[in-house]
Structure 1
Amino acid sequence: MRWNRFWILGLGTLFTCTFFIQAKNNPVTRKQDKPIRTIIIDAGHGGEDPGAKGSYSTEKQVTLEVALKLGKILEENMPDVKVVYTRKTDRFDDPRKKAQIANDNKGELFVSIHCNSTGKIRKVTGYKTVYHRKGKRKIASKQPIYAYYPSNAKGTETYIWATSKNNAKMESLKQNSVIVLDANSEETKQLMDDTDPETFILLNTLRNAYFDQSLRLSTLIEDEFTRVGRISRGARQRNEKGIWVLSATAMPSVLVELGFISNPEEEDYLNSGSGQQELANCIYKAIKRYREELDRFTNNRNSSPATTRSNSRSNNNAAMLKPGKPAKNQPDPGDGYCVQLMITDKLYKPGASIFRKLPGDINRQPVVMNKKKMNKYMWGRFKTDQQASNALRKARKLGFKGAFVTNC
């Protein structure tokens, strides 16, 4: 009898441990046919918050129009993707509410749409004579007369969260771990303890993958803008006010600045139907390219011989393509990567001194921007995204501050 009790206890313990390990490594998941099934579109500002102001329009109006146009394009061309809007009317929600909408809907991608703005330029237009008394004497002095003019700043920018916000992004993944990891069963929810080292490592890996994916998408968006003649100010990290919503969403996320509403020329473009449609098309094409890269990686991964593999969505995402980086034994996408150094009206000859510290070929591509002939300068042809990233850092260090990586 004593031995019977021992075996029953031993087998029961073994079963419990086995269940724990299995549940830890294999949370209950939804069937994943595509790496992107839900896209969250955020029209910046709204309601009582107008955002940046132009001479006759506001940021909230432009962002809503572009967001709705982008959503319509996605719904028509990606019927298998669910599109969720943080707002479809002139309504105000604080960033916490927007992040909650994104997380509750289990988004795989978050795109926030905004307009840029800068202060007016002050110029001296003349002088006036001002008299003041010093004792019994009147003393004359010249004082400048100022006039204020709209800034001529222009161009698009796409931001991701800065690495200094990694802790905030990690916190959002912890708070939404049940959603992120698809831990649907009560047993698995109890086992997903965010204080456990294994869970921490898993979430940390996932955060790093999201960072790489966000950076890749931001680069693709800026690349599409330049293809239609828009001036790109680059894809970059951002740490200041207004970026909170990116670190609070538990998914890859980008913030797109469509242009400067404070610039009269760009304000007209941002408020035109054709301009809004063009911007929405550019963002859609970038999302399409980004999704195709993830699809190629997923298909290649599913067709390869299985080794020890977790079925959780978290492991799929964590191992997912670092955007632009081909899977092992898979050819590089396109013809590799180039670094776009700048777009300027200046014509530089091959071997010009401005490029002398950049090894390799510098290619010039003529482009037209706002009916003006410009020159786009591209550096190199890099096989991997790591090589391209190293080259990008070097280019920016040498003074090409607006440089970014793009497909050749």
Structure 2
Amino acid sequence: MNLLSNGGVTSPEGFLASGIHCGLKKNNLKLDLALIYSTVPASSAGVYTKNKVKGAPIYITKEHLINKKAQAIIINSGNANTCTGDDGLSKAKRMTELTGKALKLKTTDVLVASTGVIGVPLNIDAIKDGIPLLSERLSKDGFDDAAKAIMTTDTYKKQLAFEFYIDNKKITIGAMSKGSGMIEPNMGTMLSFITTDLNISGEMLNEALKESVKISYNRVSVDGDTSTNDMVLVLANGLAKNSKITKKDENYYTFLNVLNTLNIILARMIAKDGEGATKLIECIVSNCKCEKDAEILSKSVINSPLVKTAIFGSDANWGRILCALGYAGVNINPNKVDLSFESSTGEIEICKDGMPLPFDEVKAKEILLQDEIKILINMNSGECSSIAWGCDLSYDYVKINGDYRS
């Protein structure tokens, strides 16, 4: 598996992309409409938010994916098209109709996604006027503009691509994601779009995506708020011409391994780019009774406002971590818990068997001053583990979210 130095959603064979400003965002220097297109029909799959309040695009995309086939995805930023009733549904549908007409595709072969402010009617005329230019600009070089066009409060583009081999055929997989705030997957205000030239059935693609999301995006949290619009979509157009994957064989697991790597990297990017964040927090809970308990415990720690603020202040206030473990709803023995902090400058053990250890506060401060912090928790109660990713909580989080609509 090789990471491509300048890769994205157009890295696989047969994929084009574009991004433009159509007028959904006030700043005309900010792109707000993106398109991904496969030159041939593709197997497709999706995973969506578990929030009971869902954006209109989710309903349309799920309907269009009943046959597990698609050929294009249109995405807008600047407006979530959520809590907009029948008007929102008709506009989401209209986006797929307009895109299908421009690309000479069936409406049902077009998927749709939106991100931005909730509860504001979508300016469908701006999108309608923008689609001709958006379609005209489709190219192999368009991945960068597409990645920019799906950003909201993100501070940088999130995209990458890998090459790997199946049946001596070179397979390429690319992706772009957005996400910075309202992040508590299943999933967060996060969108992720994955493209590959792998030849795989829709059923197996769906299985792989569901398995991968569990250990990547679903273990990210920035602020504990589950968004209304989250989705992960994947298109696989088969142009690599490997033997079609139709069962969970060796080739399936080769692909799943690459997909997991790609999604975990993107999940970490999203956590690190949390609104106002200065540090990525990786919480590793090991030696737990079961994986589900370990996952619940790790997410409880990264979601704790007191833990997040302590990490922001580079304060080794480890009692807050034990507190977060205790209220997670998992039956634990606090007298068996060991805690350590780790970063690029080293590791320091701060708690053993639930009791404090004498430690060097200066060294702990040096470790916690780095921009990527690991919280290592040994439950000493089993053999299962889990990792969750989050970020610190800074003054800027309140500033960004207090002024989001302007």
Q: Indicate whether the TM-score tops 0.5.
A: no
* Structure 2 length-normalised TM: 0.29
Q: Which has the higher helix share?
A: 1
* Structure 1 length-normalised TM: 0.28
Q: Greater Rg, structure 1 or structure 2?
A: 1
Looking at both structures, which has the greater relative contact order when contacts are Cα pairs under 8 Å and sequence separation is at least 6? 1
